């Protein structure tokens, strides 16, 4: 008999710069992966082997904040801001980081 498929939940955490991996069946945290400054959008690859996570160097602010008084984005804060981190979906390790331009917020993986 084949084992039941594993259900995982991937949550990016902007304030702490990481991603929490949760077992969807037990609701227990499996691990937390350090990614970089302000991880945002996340996408699982079509084959399920990789996660793509957008990292934004922009400061956190609400819609009511005045952009003219906000500090500028900091692409050098940790060497991985304004990039996309590629995470192995089994080992939960960052295998590559790709420069993505200014303030990436989301990722779409097209098969």
Distance CA 92, CA 5 (A): 17
Question: Between these two residues, 1 and 110, which has the higher pLDDT value?
Answer: 110
Q: What is the pLDDT of residues 44-63, one digit of tens each?
A: 888 889 999 988 766 666 66
Whole-structure pTM value? 0.73
- Burial class of residue 104, CB neighbours in 10 A (0-12, 13-18, 19+): buried
């Amino acid at each position: 008999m084949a084992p039941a498929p594993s259900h995982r939940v991937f949550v990016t955490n902007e304030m702490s710069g990481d991603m929490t991996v949760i077992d969807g069946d037990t609701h227990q945290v499996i691990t937390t992966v350090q990614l970089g400054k302000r991880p945002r959008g996340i996408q699982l690859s079509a084959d399920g082997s990789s996660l793509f996570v957008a990292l934004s160097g922009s400061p956190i602010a609400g819609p009511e904040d005045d952009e003219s008084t906000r500090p500028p984005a900091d692409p050098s804060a940790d060497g991985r801001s304004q990039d996309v981190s590629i995470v192995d979906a089994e080992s939960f390790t960052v295998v590559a980081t790709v420069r993505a331009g200014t303030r990436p917020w989301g990722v779409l993986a097209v098969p």
